[in-house]
C-alpha cells in the first residue's frame, strides 16, 4: 500500500527532542521507510513566525523535491495583513498551492464565519481544502464554520485523545469535516469511524516531525477495515480533494 | 520476512512472542473509551499477534480502586492465560494485600499511580506497605512515572525494595535523564514504550542510552489503540533482535511469564 501524507511540517524548530527528524532530508528518509511517496507540507515560519515569509520559505525549500507539495498558512486579510482573495488565487495558482492551513487560536482571530468571510468564500469558490489543528477552534466555532461553508472541505489534524465526544456531533452535522488520521488513537478508532461516518472522511497524515510516521502508517495498516477503505484513507481521499481544486 | 514487513502486509506477529506490559480495562467518564473489556482486548491481541497483556483498571484508580480491581480481575478471569491483572493500590487506605495475593489468585502485580489519589508522591508514607509486600514476595509493580520528580521518587523506591520489580511506565520518553539514571542504579527496573504521541526516533534514543534489554512494549490499550505503538517498534531503526527483546523477551524474563 502506498501513502500520501496530507500534512507535515518543515523548517527549523526552536526546540526539539534528541533524534527528532525535523530536517527536510530526515523527513524524506522516514517517508521512504514508511512507504509514503508524497506529502503536503507547510513551513514552521508560516505557522509560528510570519505567515507570508514562511510561505515563501516553503516554496524555496521544496522547489527541487518532487515528493513535497506546498500547503500555505493563511489568515483573514483584515487591515490588508494577508493576501485578498483574488491575489491569493493568483499566487496559489502560480506556485502550485492547492491547500491552506488556518490557525485561528494561534493567529489570534475568531474562527466564526463573520471573521472568515473572504477567506472561506474563496476556499468555497475554488474548492480549496482547509486544514487546521485540533484545538485551533473550539468545537462550537468549528461547527459554525463547517455549517456555513458546506462547499469547503475542512481537515482536522494533530488530534488529541478524548476528542470523540466533542467531535462526534460536528461530524454528524457537517459532512464537509474530514479527520486527519495522524495520532487519532482511540482503541479501534478507525474501524469505528468507518462504521459511523465512512472511510471517505478520513485522510492519512503524519504530523511529522513532532508526530510519528511509523505510528501513523501502522494505525492504517493494522486497522480492522477493508483493503478498499485503507486505500481511500492512505491516499485516495486526499487525491480526490486535490483533484477538485479549481484555481 | 523481517519484522517491519508485518506492518505493510497487515500481518499479525505469529512467530514473535509479544507482551504488552501496560494496558487498561474498564470504561471512563472522562472520555470515550470504547471496547474496554477483556473480550475486546483479546480480539485486538489476536488480530496483532500479542500473546500476553498486563492490565489495570485506570478509571478505578481515580475513585473506587477496589471496584476497579474487580473490573480488572474479571477481565483476567475470562482470559487467564492472556490477560494478567495488576491490582491498583491506594496510599490513603491500610490494606492487607494477602486479600489479593493469598486468599485470591487473580492478581500478579501492583499498579501505583498515587498522584491521582490526592496528588500524593510515589514515595509517600502510605505506599510503603505495598512496596514492602511486593519486595517480600518478588512482585512486579507498574508505576505511572511521567514527571522527572516521579521518576526520581520511583528510583528511590526501587533501590529501597530490591526484590520487587518495577516498570517505569512512560518515563523513557518523558523524563529521559532520570529514566537512564534509574536503569544505571537499579537492576530491578524496566522502562516501557507507553506514550500515545511521540516523534519518530524517540524509541531509538532511549534504547541507545539504556540498551535494548531495558525497554518493554507497553501501550495504554484500551485508553488508546495499541497498533501504532507496535508499528513504532516494528518500523524503528532497531535491529530485529532488539525489536524482539522490546516486544516480548524482556517482559518474559522480567515478569517471569
Ligand atoms: Zn497507563
Helix or strand holding residue B20 (H, E): strand B19-24
Q: How many Cα atoms are found within 13 Å in the side-chain-facing hemisphere of B10?
A: 13
End-to-end CA distance of chain A: 30
Q: Looking at residue B186, what is its pLDDT?
A: 98
Q: What is the 3-state secondary structure (H, E, C) of B129-145?
A: HHHHHHHHHCCEEEEEC
Question: φ and ψ at B150, to 5 degrees?
Answer: -65, -40
Tell me whether residue B45 is in a domain. Answer: yes
Contact between residue B84 and residue B51 where contact means Cβ atoms under 8 Å apart: no
In 3D space, the residue among A213, A222, A216, A168 whose CA is nearest the CA of residue A195 turns out to be A168
Could you tell me the CA-to-CA distances from B220 to B133, B153, B173 in Å, in that order? 25, 22, 14
Q: Looking at residue B125, what is its pLDDT?
A: 98
Is B36 in a helix, a strand, or coil? coil
Q: Do A185 and B32 touch (CB under 8 A)?
A: no
Whose cell is 463547517? That residue is A146
For A216, name the nearest residue in chain B, comparing CA atoms only: B228
Tell me whether residue B11 is in a domain. Answer: no
Q: Do B47 and A216 touch (CB under 8 A)?
A: no
Q: Looking at residue B237, what is its pLDDT?
A: 98
Tell me whether residue B29 is in a domain. Answer: yes
CATH number of the domain enclosing B38: 3.20.20.140
Nearest to B32 among A17, A33, A164 (CB): A164
- What pTM was computed for the model? 0.96
Counted across chains A and B, CB pairs separated by less than 8 A come out at 126
Q: Looking at residue A196, what is its pLDDT?
A: 96
Count of domains forming chain B: 1
CB atoms within 10 A of CB B72: 29
Contact between residue A38 and residue B11 where contact means Cβ atoms under 8 Å apart: no
Q: Is A34 on the interface with B (CB under 8 A)?
A: yes
Which residues, 6 or more positions from A73, have their beta carbon under 8 angstroms from its beta carbon? A42, A43, A46, A47, A51, A54, A55, A100, A101, A102, A103
Which residues, 6 or more positions from B198, have their beta carbon under 8 angstroms from its beta carbon? A17, A212, B173, B232
Q: Do A165 and B197 touch (CB under 8 A)?
A: no
**What topology is assigned to A3-243 in CATH?**
TIM Barrel (3.20.20)
How does pLDDT run along chain A (247 residues), one tens digit per residue?
A: 999 999 999 999 999 999 999 999 999 999 999 999 999 999 999 999 999 999 999 999 999 999 999 999 999 999 999 999 999 999 999 999 999 999 999 999 999 999 999 999 999 999 999 999 999 999 999 999 999 999 999 999 998 778 899 999 999 999 999 999 999 999 999 999 999 999 999 999 999 999 999 999 999 999 999 999 999 999 999 999 999 999 9
* pLDDT per position as a tens digit, A92-131: 999 999 999 999 999 999 999 999 999 999 999 999 999 9
Question: φ and ψ at B222, to 5 degrees?
Answer: -95, 5
In 3D space, the residue among B7, B198, B8, B205 whose CA is nearest the CA of residue A183 turns out to be B198
Q: Looking at residue B104, what is its pLDDT?
A: 87
Q: Looking at residue A116, what is its pLDDT?
A: 95
Beta pairing partners, B111: B88, B142
**Quick one: CA torsion of B93, B99, B102, B106, rounded to 10 degrees?**
-100
Please state, in angstroms and rounded to a whole number, the distance separating the CA atoms of residues A177 and A69.
Answer: 22
How does pLDDT run along chain B (257 residues), one tens digit per residue?
A: 999 999 999 999 999 999 999 999 998 888 888 899 999 999 999 999 999 999 999 888 999 999 999 999 999 999 999 999 999 999 999 999 999 999 888 999 999 999 999 999 999 999 999 999 999 999 999 999 999 999 999 999 999 999 999 999 999 999 999 999 999 999 999 999 999 999 999 999 999 999 999 999 999 999 999 999 999 999 999 999 999 999 999 999 999 99
In 3D space, the residue among B27, B87, B30, B32 whose CA is nearest the CA of residue B54 turns out to be B87
Helix or strand holding residue A47 (H, E): helix A44-48
Please state, in angstroms and rounded to a whole number, the distance separating the CA atoms of residues A38 and A30.
Answer: 12
- Domain with B99, as residue range(s), is 16-254
- Spacing of C-alpha A40 from chain mean position: 8
Q: Looking at residue B14, what is its pLDDT?
A: 95
- What is the ipTM metric for this complex? 0.95
Question: Could you tell me the residue ranges of all domains in chain A?
Answer: 3-243
Question: φ and ψ at A21, to 5 degrees?
Answer: -85, 75
Q: Contacts of residue A25 in chain B, CB cutoff 8 Å?
A: none
Helix or strand holding residue B191 (H, E): strand B189-192
| Angle value at C-alpha A11, between A214 and A163, nearest 5 degrees | 50
Q: Contacts of residue A188 in chain B, CB cutoff 8 Å?
A: 34-35, 40, 44, 225
Q: Contacts of residue A35 in chain B, CB cutoff 8 Å?
A: 8
Which residues, 6 or more positions from B74, have their beta carbon under 8 angstroms from its beta carbon? B38
Q: Looking at residue B34, what is its pLDDT?
A: 84
Q: Is the dihedral of CA B196, B201, B202, B207 positive or negative?
A: positive
Rg, C-alpha atoms of chain A: 17
| Angle value at C-alpha A9, between A55 and A91, nearest 5 degrees | 25
Distance (Å) from the alpha carbon of A233 to chain B's nearest alpha carbon = 14
Which of B197, B203, B236, B246 would best serve as a mutation to test chain A binding (most A beta carbons within 10 A)? B197
Q: b/e string for A12-49 if b means 16 or more Cβ within 10 A?
A: eeeeebebbbbebebbbebbebbbbebbbbbbbbbbbe
Q: Do B231 and A211 touch (CB under 8 A)?
A: no
Which residues, 6 or more positions from A105, have their beta carbon under 8 angstroms from its beta carbon? A111, A135, A136, A137
Amino acid at each position: 500500500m502506498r501513502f500520501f501524507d496530507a500534512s507535515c511540517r518543515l523548517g527549523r524548530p526552536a526546540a526539539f527532542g534528541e533524534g527528532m527528524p525535523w530536517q527536510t532530508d530526515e523527513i524524506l528518509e522516514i517517508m521512504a521507510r514508511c512507504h509514503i511517496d508524497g506529502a503536503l507540507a507547510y513551513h514552521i515560519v508560516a505557522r509560528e513566525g510570519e505567515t507570508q515569509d514562511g510561505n515563501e520559505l516553503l516554496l524555496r525549500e521544496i522547489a527541487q523535491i518532487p515528493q513535497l507539495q506546498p500547503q500555505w498558512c493563511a489568515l483573514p486579510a483584515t487591515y490588508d495583513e494577508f493576501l485578498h482573495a483574488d491575489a491569493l488565487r493568483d499566487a496559489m495558482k502560480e506556485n502550485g498551492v492547492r491547500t491552506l492551513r488556518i490557525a485561528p487560536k494561534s493567529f489570534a482571530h475568531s474562527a466564526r464565519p463573520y471573521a472568515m468571510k473572504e477567506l472561506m468564500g474563496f476556499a468555497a469558490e475554488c474548492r480549496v481544502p482547509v486544514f487546521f489543528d485540533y484545538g485551533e477552534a473550539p468545537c462550537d466555532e468549528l461547527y459554525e464554520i463547517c455549517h456555513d461553508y458546506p462547499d469547503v472541505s475542512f481537515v482536522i489534524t494533530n488530534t488529541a485523545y478524548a476528542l470523540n465526544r466533542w467531535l462526534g456531533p460536528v461530524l454528524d452535522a457537517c459532512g464537509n469535516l474530514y479527520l486527519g488520521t495522524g495520532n487519532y488513537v482511540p482503541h479501534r478508532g478507525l474501524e469505528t469511524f468507518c462504521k459511523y461516518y465512512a472511510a471517505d472522511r478520513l485522510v492519512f497524515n503524519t504530523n511529522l516531525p513532532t508526530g510519528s510516521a511509523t505510528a501513523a502508517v501502522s494505525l492504517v495498516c493494522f486497522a480492522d477495515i477493508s483493503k478498499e477503505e485503507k486505500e481511500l484513507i492512505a491516499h485516495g481521499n486526499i487525491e480526490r480533494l486535490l483533484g477538485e481544486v479549481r484555481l | 520476512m523481517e519484522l517491519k514487513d508485518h506492518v505493510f502486509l497487515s500481518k499479525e506477529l505469529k512467530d514473535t512472542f509479544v507482551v504488552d506490559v501496560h494496558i487498561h480495562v474498564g470504561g471512563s467518564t472522562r472520555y470515550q473509551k470504547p471496547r474496554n473489556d477483556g473480550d475486546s482486548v483479546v480480539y485486538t491481541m489476536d488480530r496483532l499477534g500479542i500473546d500476553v497483556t498486563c492490565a489495570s483498571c485506570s478509571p478505578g484508580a481515580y475513585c473506587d480502586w477496589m471496584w476497579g480491581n474487580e473490573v480488572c480481575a474479571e477481565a483476567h478471569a475470562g482470559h487467564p492465560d492472556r490477560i494478567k491483572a495488576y491490582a491498583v493500590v491506594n496510599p490513603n487506605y491500610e490494606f492487607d494485600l494477602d486479600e489479593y495475593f493469598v486468599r485470591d489468585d487473580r492478581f500478579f502485580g501492583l499498579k501505583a499511580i498515587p498522584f491521582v489519589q490526592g496528588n500524593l508522591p510515589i514515595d509517600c508514607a502510605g505506599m510503603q506497605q505495598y512496596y514492602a509486600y511486593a519486595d517480600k514476595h518478588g512482585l512486579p509493580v507498574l508505576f505511572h512515572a511521567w514527571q522527572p520528580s516521579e521518576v526520581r521518587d520511583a528510583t528511590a523506591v526501587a533501590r529501597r525494595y530490591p526484590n520487587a520489580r518495577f516498570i517505569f511506565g512512560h518515563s523513557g520518553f518523558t523524563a529521559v535523564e532520570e529514566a537512564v539514571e534509574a536503569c544505571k542504579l537499579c537492576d530491578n527496573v524496566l522502562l516501557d514504550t507507553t506514550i500515545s504521541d511521540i516523534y519518530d526516533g524517540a524509541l531509538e534514543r532511549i534504547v541507545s542510552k539504556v540498551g535494548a534489554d531495558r525497554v518493554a512494549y507497553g501501550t495504554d490499550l484500551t485508553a488508546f489503540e495499541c497498533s501504532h505503538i507496535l508499528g513504532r517498534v516494528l518500523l524503528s531503526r532497531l535491529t530485529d533482535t532488539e525489536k524482539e527483546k522490546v516486544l516480548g523477551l524482556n517482559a518474559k524474563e522480567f515478569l517471569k511469564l
